[in-house]
A and B are shown apart, each in its own frame.
Chain A
Amino acid sequence: MTLAEYRRKKGPAAHEETEVSGIRIEREGAAAHERAHPGPLEYIKIGVALAIITAVEVAVYYIGALKDVLVPILVVLSALKFSLVALWFMHLRFDNRLFSTFFVAGLMLAAAIFVVALATLGGSLR
């Protein structure tokens, strides 16, 4: 009996745990750790927030008094925009954790390449 046949015969369970490549996936009924996606109004609110953050980024760029702290401010604002898009528009906040695991693993590896390259070959953010 295949796993799919077994699941069909067994029917929806109240709580299931599956392990894939060492990653434990907990499932409740059809789709555990998944929540309904937001509606259009919430998406528009996020869009407005993204537009405001972009405007703040550009404003900060032109404020001479903030020159010494420009890099950390811009990095934080950029990370905030990145998170809003990934969590709401890409639904990582609502979908199964496995998707987040994949994406975060990719980001961590990219960050590792980034840090190692800059540290060993002498680049900088300034």
Chain B
Amino acid sequence: MHQASTAEPALATGTGLDNRKLLMWLFLASECLFFGSLIAAYLLYRDKSVVGPYPGDLFDIPFTSVSSFVLLMSSVTMVLALAAIQRGDRRGLQVWLLATALLGVLFLSGQAFEFTEFHRQGLSLSTNLFGTTFFVLTGFHGAHVSVGVLILLSLFVMALRGRLTAANSINVELAGLYWHFVDVVWIAIFTLVYLIQP
């Protein structure tokens, strides 16, 4: 077992907790509402389209399963990056951060391919209610992944310059919280949008 940030002395705050971490959790709680609303809108309108294409005509479950697996594994590499810096392993941090960013880019490439394929088959943002709610939901998720990749690459550059140490591993921990949140949102989307079809 590794002593993590929990081994650090209590911070001079009212709760003894790091304010940045508290703020990140509050932000993630607000993001739950954001994505909850988008998922509810999708489930509400996906089978109300009067013209096709419909979800069953387009979804490629094996392909999306691989994408989901890629994003899940990026969560593993992210947490390994945090574990590395918490034990002072800078080389490990660099390797796992880069691996996480690359897996994120791979996921985004899969999403870009999927969007392009759907558009080729006649689905756009304005084709029907399914298209509108699907692209808004998965598009916003993709935007979150994109922001996450940029954060990871920024951390990677900081790690290369030796600016990340065990003492300020909170930076990696906060990025990790965001990244894992993006992952759990996709877990919900994969099941509710792709696997459970009308």
Contacts and interface: CB of A to CB of B under 8 A. Distances in A.
Main secondary structure of the interface of B (DSSP, over half): helix
A106 B1 contact: no
Interface stretch (B22-30, B49-57, B105-113): B22-30
A110 B4 CA distance: 31
A83 B9 CA distance: 29
B35 A75 contact: no
Contact of B76 (A44, A71, A117): A44
Interface in B5-24: 5-10, 12-17, 21-22
B141 to A, nearest CB: 14
Given A38-B1, A40-B80, A103 B12 contact: no
A114 B4 CA distance: 36
B41 interface: yes
Given A34-B6, A35-B6, A89-B176, A43 B32 contact: no
A21 B79 CA distance: 31
Contact of B33 (A95, A99, A109): A109
Given A36-B7, A74-B195, A106-B28, A47 B61 contact: no
Interface residues of B, number: 65
B94 interface: no
Nearest to A125: B196
Contacts of A44: 76, 80
A35 B3 CA distance: 8
Contacts of B62: 58
Interface residues of A, number: 67
B76 to A, nearest CB: 4
A14 interface: no
A99 B161 CA distance: 31
Given A27-B10, A96-B17, A126-B198, 11 more contacts: A31-B17, A37-B83, A40-B84, A44-B80, A61-B195, A78-B187, A90-B181, A91-B4, A102-B26, A110-B33, A113-B40
9 residue pairs, one from A and one from B, having the closest CB atoms: A110-B36, A106-B29, A4-B12, A106-B32, A47-B76, A123-B44, A37-B4, A78-B191, A117-B40
Interface of B: 1-10, 12-17, 21-22, 25-26, 28-33, 35-37, 39-41, 43-45, 61-62, 65, 68-69, 72-73, 75-76, 78-80, 82-84, 86, 176-177, 180-181, 183-184, 187-188, 190-192, 195-196, 198
5 contacts: A18-B15, A54-B72, A85-B187, A113-B40, A121-B44
Interface of A: 3-4, 7-8, 12, 16, 18, 20, 25, 27, 29-31, 34-40, 43-44, 46-47, 50-51, 54, 57-58, 61, 70-71, 74-75, 77-78, 81-82, 85-86, 88-91, 94-96, 98-99, 102-103, 105-107, 109-111, 113-114, 117-118, 121-126
